[in-house]
Structure 1
């Protein structure tokens, strides 16, 4: 941690006074320095001459030399090779120059960032995503955002879990099935709307109507999501509306396992197309059919706290929609082209 001297001695960058620094009452401790001394060092390093650096900074040459000596004492190493002309940075000097440039650059951004004038600067973006959309969507999204956000942390899980983490401020932006319309201080952008489709083993007969669906449910168990997932609740509620009370046999919290079960002819399932993309390796071993009764859909939203990230949530939404329209569903549509007009992006 930088010493308290860093806090007390910070002067606005670019506003140096012509002065001769006095020797400190006690020797400078390791890493006990201020922004002014780093800017003096960087200027000397880039100009290769203390006299020229002093002229640019409005200091005397002896004051600049004193600052450099202080830094060399603080780090217990030689920063410049003075045996050659023009003098050059040592290996330690190169390392200090690199980090000083970074520290000074960050310091110049502080007034705008803390004052709210640059709300697009986000040192770390904490994203949450429902499991059915996490891959390959999230890697493609991060590829588009990494030029403006230096660091990311990603959480994938159920909508309920993401909501809890978002409300506890452990996540900044989430991709979820919930619109958060019940909260005023939240911005919600619809990313897509998609239907649930019927997945059956390749050996099973096609299901053309509600009677066929009932026959299927008698012949094979339903491979369903767990009841604490929003997908599981949506499927159960819709089947009840159709008057179908199907006994519970298998319930999973991972769509990959659900599709593998169908591929192994262990049952049938209902999932949205984004889940099929995530687990597309199973598509060749099962059949994807339109839901034969009254259809039902789910929407995915981008949710962020209102006004806290500037235009970044809108940019994330735009980038996400672009990803979904640029061949995202190619593998699914290759075997089920009838799905294309049913997916709204």
Structure 2
């Protein structure tokens, strides 16, 4: 049989020179057998197929009989000339063509640096960005990726899943600068803003922030979350040690608490977009002290997904710069110059 890229050859060129292939078990077949079958099916003659494949007629006939034994059905109607496929044979011909075509693409798909095909993309996203960002992202990626699985949660959880290879790409506020075999691309930088009940007084400076912290409890992220740690550290730098009253791992609940006048909070604008249904019942103010910001990064392993991580970053940037924050900018125009790369 002539060698064709992507197919392993172990069929005998002559049954007298080489031991016959081992008997097939049910559905236990190789690519060579499928190619022999497809060639016979398309030429309608075992002798002509043998000539094209560089085999003896007896070797071709042997392969066809093995397939019929493996599938426990007749694949060719030999009572007519030229012989023709049975219904079962036609089904096997259809699927064999697909299997052989996929097999020929394997070297490029598996080993190629810029492999265009990813059968399933496993994405992780911090909770504050997950919606509506992720649906918009998937809508633009689905033409090149047939299947997705999505995990949303805390940055620590996403890091653990990424390191365990349960996720391929993550959106997180950790840069992974401590890892050499990781590509990290900044997606957006955003400020923390002050969320207060609608009837709360203005908070124009650090003194106003201290007065607010004495009048109302701080609605916090949980201490094990990245946002929670960032807020606690920044408030300590300002000399604000605020007692713990409420801590949540979901920004939607935090904003609902502020809307119900249960306290005040500090969150980035992506969190406000995610839980925008509460915005009409609270006020958003600039943080009145030293600048307080965070960045979100796209993280992927070096060289494993070809050009796909760069495309994900480009699509993600497009989403965030083309109308994602429009509702916030209309209500609080001072926010617009504070969000960037």
SS in 1 for 2:186: strand
Query: Residue 236 and residue 27 in structure 1: after superposition, are their counterparts in 2 closer, same or farther (change >3 A)?
Result: closer
Quickly say closer, same or farther: Cα 1:20–1:116, change in 2 above 3 A.
farther
The worse-fitting range, judged by mean Cα deviation, of 177-186 and 76-85 is 76-85
Match of 1:16 among 8, 12, 27: 8
Deviation at 1:298, TM superposition (A): 0.3
C-alpha distance in structure 1 between counterparts of 2:257 and 2:25, whole Å: 64
Q: 1:208 to 1:79 in 2, by over 3 A?
A: farther
Q: Provide the secondary structure at the position in 1 that maps to 2:214.
A: helix
CA contact (8 A) 1:20 1:59 kept: no
The verdict on how the C-alpha distance between 1:317 and 1:118 changes in structure 2, with shifts beyond 3 A counting, is: closer
Distance 1:147 1:181 in 2: 31
d(CA) in 1 for partners of 2:82 and 2:280?
69
TM-score for both structures, normalised by structure 1:
0.82
Kept in 1: contact 2:8–2:31 (CA 8 A): no
1:136 match: secondary structure: helix
For residue 297 of structure 1, report the CA deviation from its aligned partner. 0.5
| Rounded Cα–Cα distance in structure 1 between residues aligned with 2:29 and 2:100 | 13
Deviation string, structure 1 residues 307-328 (Cα, Å, up to 9, x no partner): 2322222122111111212222
Moved more, 113-122 or 234-243: 113-122
* CA RMSD, 1 decimal: 3.2
How many aligned positions are there? 331
Distance apart, 1:343 and its partner CA: 1.0
Q: Post-superposition shift, 1:251?
A: 0.3
Mean Cα deviation higher: 173-182 or 56-65:
56-65
TM-score by length of 2: 0.83
Q: Tell me the CA shift for residue 22 of structure 1.
A: 9.5
Cα separation, partners in 2 of 1:25 and 1:310, compared to 1, 3 Å: closer
CA contact (8 A) 2:329 2:336 kept: yes
Identify the residue that residue 192 of structure 2 maps to in structure 1: 196
Deviations 1:147-193 (A, max 9, x none): 33333332222112222222233322221111111222221100000
Q: Deviations over 1:74-112 (max 9, x none)?
A: 112344567889877655445434442343233223333
In structure 1, what is the Cα distance between the partners aligned to 2:192 and 2:81? 74
Conserved? CA contact 2:220–2:228, under 8 Å: yes
1:132/1:84 CA distance change after superposition, 3 Å:
farther
CA contact (8 A) 1:20 1:63 kept: no
Query: Hey, what's the Cα distance between the residues in 2 that align with 1:82 and 1:75?
Result: 17
Q: Please tell me whether the aligned partners of residues 175 and 302 of structure 1 are also in contact (alpha carbons under 8 angstroms).
A: yes
